[in-house]
Amino acid sequence: MSWRAVVLTLFPDMFPGPLALSLAGRALADGVWALRTIDIRDFATDRHRSVDDVPFGGGAGMVLRPDVVDAALAAADPDLPAICLTPRGAPLTQARVRDLAAGPGVALLCGRYEGVDQRVIEARGLEQVSVGDYVLSGGEPAALVLLDAAVRLLPGVMGAAASAEDDSFSAGLLEYPHYTRPAEWQGRAVPPVLLSGNHAAIAAWRQEEAERITRERRPDLWAAYRAGADRLPAPAARRN
């Protein structure tokens, strides 16, 4: 059975959007994964089809109603992990993406306006996930980010030519830099070791570059990587 994505949204026309193209699009066409959108507005009960209301306690903006969102969630596949996309959520990580890709799929609730009434998030036990420390106008671009990251990890999607193993975050480090032809461009040469044909030296250079870049750009990742490496029995094991 395909990996299943269910997206609950007020803007179903945003899907599959960019996921209809390239690797994800081919995999969608080939049935590696399936996408279903649920239009939250279909679950409104009044004649105006309202999905939101003013916030208790005052303040600007509108809040998605718990009864409408709950009815929409009831229409999603109950066996899928259900995620509410919100800037208040836990940051999305490659590890979480890997877990989701290894499961049956995911149901994603996209907020709009000021967000979703907290009671339905709690009543449904939704996992709250953020795609970064910035505020989008809606959960849809966040859902596209999460789905893109997960779908590329599904078996067969990337093919033999590409591998996720070396990607940034896979080993707790950012990835080393890449170079292709020409070997010299605008007076800039490719690092000589990459032209040496010495695979051990190339692997060592890439590892050093990955460590240097992570140390310089992401002290948080570097500290976690060091803590993990310190738990390993011998330094040689860390190089593999």
The yes or no reply on residue 136 touching ligand SAM (CB under 6 A) is yes
Task: Quote the CA–CA distance of 141 and 17 in Å, as a whole number.
Answer: 10
Instruction: Return the residue of 135, 161, 200, 236 that touches ligand SAM, per CB under 6 A.
Output: 135
User: Among 204, 224, 223, 3, which residue's Cα sits nearest to residue 100?
Assistant: 3
The yes or no reply on residue 56 touching ligand SAM (CB under 6 A) is no
Nearer to ligand SAM, 25 or 81 (CB): 81
Q: How far is the CB of 68 from ligand SAM (least distance, A)?
A: 14
Catalytic (active site) residue 167: yes
Give the tokens for residue 225.
């990587």
Task: Quote the CA–CA distance of 147 and 32 in Å, as a whole number.
Answer: 13
Task: Quote the CA–CA distance of 121 and 209 in Å, as a whole number.
Answer: 42
Catalytic (active site) residue 152: yes
- Give me the half-sphere count of Cα atoms (radius 13 Å) on the Cβ side of residue 161: 1
Number of residues forming the site for ligand SAM (CB under 6 A): 20
Instruction: Return the residue of 13, 47, 57, 137 that touches ligand SAM, per CB under 6 A.
Output: 137
* Cβ within 8 Å of residue 106, ≥6 positions away: 4, 5, 6, 80, 81, 82, 83, 100, 146, 147, 150
Instruction: Return the residue of 74, 95, 104, 132 that touches ligand SAM, per CB under 6 A.
Output: 132
Over the window 77 to 116, marking each residue x when it contacts ligand SAM by CB under 6 A and - when it does not, the resulting string is --------xxxx---------------------xxx-xxx
Catalytic residue among 124, 152, 206, 211: 152
Show contacts with ligand SAM in window 204-223 (CB under 6 A).
Answer: none
